[in-house]
Structure 1
């Protein structure tokens, strides 16, 4: 793409792993403005861009000054070529000047995904904005996106040791790391069982699109993942629920994924996992715990998190744009699951 539409002196180029530090600074600028503190870490972005399916040279662009200082970035992630999620970040001094060229690149990049999507499938772009970021929300509307959903970030501050987990009869809590050490020859079987549990648990979440096992494993169970914070609720040898957590240092502890298989719901599995995770973070000296949730969760997750003592810290709006009409292949209601 030509740089003619960019302010004088700025240039667009592919992102690389060497850009992680600068790219995170750009992302943090909006997080500090709207959240009061940075949220994205270098470790998180490096782990993301290290995935084979997320190569920044192919899926991300940065806008730089003549000194190669990054002032804006856009990153894309596709789910089976039918949904392309967009993360757009711009330093405050450059807002309103560089977004349109970046989004033109995104739509050009999306054409490759449209060609690979099932012939009858609807293909979408998706992105988001903080609730109070009216400038970004207006940008999405001007580009033809529609507001489709709200999401919350919820938080709990641990001022004292949290509640002890109350496990259902016959359920034991283990970590992936423990099971991995006990039976290293069975690690692949364990990983596939966990993947199957995840796909079942999330198949009735709004917007669900089936994952690809190899991509899922590389990100969730790769060498940089702390598998001692990947908690599994076991009924004998069967995984019935799990919580994937991470200690993000100054950003606190995160419960990135919490899932319960259908047959084991309404038995306190999720609450027990949350309390167990809180306890582990507390023992490690981490006092702030966060997670993200669909504000209109089909499975009632918001009520669970409120019962666990979590409160809404901030709200964001989800936007989507249809690039190609067709059959919507995502979960939109429990009747589809």
Structure 2
């Protein structure tokens, strides 16, 4: 009976109502809850009001449950030009109804998830976001970590200018250890295409699955009992049946097979593919009509043509913009 009472008491910190106020036990910083943002495996995240504006706070059951995330966020803060995850602002304890709960305060990232953004504005944006993501993953891997639970729900598009960021690092794991949190669709173990060892190729598999998912209106599932080569054949079909994915087939398959040793090489291949795809689209653009033929057309028809924009031209311009953005971002990574 005592254990049930204690468990119920612990859960109180995960259901704090809007308007709840508290002051950190050690650092004495005041907080006021605006709303709950979501629940995770290691705690609950709230949007809060602080002295310096709106921030996000994650409250856990015990210190060990949050230690890994705090360490990751601290590691991010040491990376030059950190854009990897939210900035860590405070680490303290909350005393609530006689119980002590650890929490940390971080930057509040506002925006849309990657899937929401791509489905509203088009999949043409996806390659450049994956380029950005791979650059961030490379930095994370160089620090000795693997993201682990990499999925669209943990990626948010901030801006302008549009930029992919991640905001939940609860699944981040030290390289060489077993992945502690994962979501089946993005997990190579689920597809029978690798183990759950924390290494760069694990994250790159997930990045490829995110890319594939953006091309479909809903997440698909593997057939019962499908694993290994049969899983790969299934994913190949999904890539081949999608026009936005087909140009990136080679890069995606290499990531799915675990053939990339690091994110930087995958990023380079993806950028080269973007360049090739953009150049090819430009070469396929129909040439301008002959002036004499255009002049011979009725004036009304001419106006009609002007009013109707070329969809292909818009796609090519968008692709050119994405490639230029990728190049600028790539150059920035090395400055």
> With structure 2 as the length reference, what TM-score do the two structures score?
0.24
> With structure 1 as the length reference, what TM-score do the two structures score?
0.24
Which structure shows the bigger proportion of residues in helix conformation? 2
